[in-house]
């Protein structure tokens, strides 16, 4: 609410109605404080400070435990208030040595997109034998991914998938997907399982 007269007394006076001031009032009220006064030189509810120009993004990857806990707490609050929109994403680097998009493949039959990122040569030449991360965008993903479901598995490129699987099977490795072309494609792949039950993909590089 707004006031035209300054009250004679208050338990606390918070100056600045941006995100910090509003959050402070919110937490004090939750702790049982009453008679709180929040003041700002601009008109409420949009006084025109820096908060009004903020991008409203929340990144779950933070540089310290304290900032991560603050972000997690903010996310929970916005969800409780019904004003949180989860868009998702993945961060692969924060420096100038970040990964580059190497190639992209649209698969309309399977309704997903594959994006391969890695460290391309600085001279712009095509990468050869570099490690890659394969990102999958599922077009019809209705439910947001949770921690533990957003990451799929590791993959290793080998010159001959069938021969590699035969050698691993001879050593007692469990094969969960026999060598063969990937669905909606021609690349030969296979899946094996490590002693802890984690699956690893073998991709034939040619």
| Beta strands 36-39; 12-15: pairing state | parallel
62 tagged catalytic: no
What's the rounded Cα separation, in Å, for the pair 142 and 145? 9
Active-site residue identified among 5, 134, 201, 204: 201
Neighbours of 35 (CB within 10 A): 10
Q: Strand 112-118's sheet: what is its strand order?
A: 100-107, 112-118, 132-138
C-alpha distances out from residue 136 to 68, 107, 133, 152, 159, Å: 26, 10, 10, 9, 23
CA atoms within 13 A on the CB side of 128: 4
Active site residues: 201
């Amino acid at each position: 609410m707004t006031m035209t007269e300054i009250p004679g007394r208050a338990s606390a006076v918070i100056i600045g109605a941006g995100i910090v001031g509003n959050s402070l009032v919110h937490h004090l009220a939750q702790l049982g404080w009453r008679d709180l006064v929040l003041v700002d030189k601009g008109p409420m509810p949009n006084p025109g400070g820096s908060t009004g120009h903020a991008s409203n993004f929340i990144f779950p990857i933070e540089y310290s435990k304290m900032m991560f806990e603050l972000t997690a707490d903010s996310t929970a609050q916005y969800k409780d208030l019904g004003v949180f929109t989860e868009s998702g994403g993945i961060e692969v680097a924060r420096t100038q040595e970040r990964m580059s998009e190497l190639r992209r493949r649209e698969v309309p039959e399977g309704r997903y997109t594959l994006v391969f990122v890695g460290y391309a040569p600085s001279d712009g030449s095509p990468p050869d034998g570099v490690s890659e991360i394969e990102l999958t965008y599922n077009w019809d993903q209705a439910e947001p991914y949770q921690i533990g479901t957003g990451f799929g598995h590791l993959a290793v490129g080998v010159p001959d998938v069938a021969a590699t699987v035969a050698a691993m099977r001879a050593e007692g490795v469990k094969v969960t997907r026999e060598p063969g072309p990937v669905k909606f494609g021609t690349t030969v792949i296979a899946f094996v399982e490590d002693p802890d039950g984690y699956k690893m993909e073998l991709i034939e590089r040619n």
